[in-house]
């Protein structure tokens, strides 16, 4: 089993209390076969991490997609905090390699089981929260889920609103849309970008986000709504 130093390198964090990280990697099946080694499994940390992840994602979506109503924010959060998504993130990190589990669970493929991977990721987040506080844990969540966040668009819409907009514009015989950043606000660590999507020299949609790419996606969604209203 790889040492935990290599996991900290993958996470790009360092635990002050290594026991918390150790605890986050203990599957309940290990306790059954190795009584007395650990006092408890990672399940309580899993519970805590689940709450931290949900809170961090909710705050990020609220600030990034300021045109989304409550239902859309809820749907977006659900798609990011669901088990399959967290298991995918855990898989990228190789968390299954570090799990301490019973021989039976391992023989049954437990290291690659989605629910185990998602639970371990939640437990690691919970442990980091106890070790370094909420801000550090939320930063870890947003950093590790960055690929999923960057792909998120309006729930139920095309996974790539910029491509969909380009197709719609070309179907009208107009020139391809272009994007420009028209406003940058906030401190370096909390930038807010406002983008416009422009067709034939006229802005047809605007969007705001914590990154330029997100602002452009929101602008594309806004333009698609405008075009739908005009049709």
Distances (CA, A) of 137 to 48, 82, 144: 11, 18, 11
Checking if the pLDDT of 2 tops 90, the result is no
Q: State the CB neighbour count (10 A cutoff) for residue 53.
A: 29
151, 186, 218 — which closes off a domain? 151
* Rounded Cα distance, 15 and 147, in Å: 24
Which residue has tokens 């095309």?
158
50 is catalytic: yes
Could you tell me which residue, 75 or 132, shows the higher pLDDT? 132
Confidence of residue 71 (pLDDT cuts 50, 70, 90): low
Clarify whether residues 75 and 175 are in a common domain.
Answer: no
Clarify whether residues 125 and 166 are in a common domain.
Answer: no
Checking if the pLDDT of 153 tops 90, the result is no
Could you tell me which residue, 20 or 148, shows the higher pLDDT? 20
Is this model's pTM higher than 0.75 or not? no
Clarify whether residues 145 and 171 are in a common domain.
Answer: no
Is residue 156 situated within a structural domain? no
Which range, 114-118, 126-130, 183-187, has the best average confidence (pLDDT)?
Answer: 126-130
Selecting among 46, 60, 105, 122, the annotated active-site residue is: 122
Is residue 222 situated within a structural domain? yes
Residue 225 is part of a domain; what is its CATH number? 3.30.160.20
Is residue 213 situated within a structural domain? yes
The residue range of the domain holding 216 is 161-230
Chain-centroid distance of CA 17 in Å reads: 25
The overall average pLDDT reported for the chain is 87
Selecting among 46, 50, 131, 222, the annotated active-site residue is: 50
Mean pLDDT to the nearest integer, 107-124: 93
- How many domains, in total, are found in the chain? 2
Residue 146 is part of a domain; what is its CATH number? 1.10.1520.10
**pLDDT of res. 158:** 45
Buried b (16+ CB within 10 A) or exposed e, 95-109: bbebbbbbeebbeee
- Side-chain-side CA neighbours of 206 within 13 Å: the count stands at 10
Residue 34 per-residue DSSP state: S
């Amino acid at each position: 089993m790889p040492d935990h130093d290599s996991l900290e390198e993958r996470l790009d964090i360092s635990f002050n209390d290594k026991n918390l990280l150790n605890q986050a990697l203990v599957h309940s099946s290990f306790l059954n076969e190795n009584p007395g080694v650990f006092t408890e499994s990672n399940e309580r940390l899993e519970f805590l991490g689940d709450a931290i992840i949900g809170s961090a994602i909710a705050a990020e979506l609220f600030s990034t997609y300021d045109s989304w109503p409550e239902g859309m924010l809820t749907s977006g959060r659900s798609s990011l905090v669901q088990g399959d998504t967290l298991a995918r993130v855990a898989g990228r990190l190789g968390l299954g390699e570090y799990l301490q589990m019973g021989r039976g669970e391992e023989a049954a493929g437990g290291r690659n089981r989605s629910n185990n991977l998602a639970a371990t990721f939640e437990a690691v987040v919970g442990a980091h929260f106890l070790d370094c506080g909420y801000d550090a844990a939320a930063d870890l969540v947003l950093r590790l889920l960055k690929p999923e966040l960057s792909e998120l668009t309006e729930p139920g819409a095309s996974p790539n609103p910029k491509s969909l907009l380009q197709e719609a514009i070309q179907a009208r015989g107009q020139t391809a849309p272009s994007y420009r950043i028209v406003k940058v606000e906030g401190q370096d660590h909390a930038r807010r970008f406002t983008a416009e999507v422009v067709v034939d020299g006229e802005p047809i949609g605007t969007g705001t986000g914590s990154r330029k790419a997100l602002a452009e996606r929101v602008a594309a969604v806004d333009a698609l709504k405008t075009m739908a209203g005009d049709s």
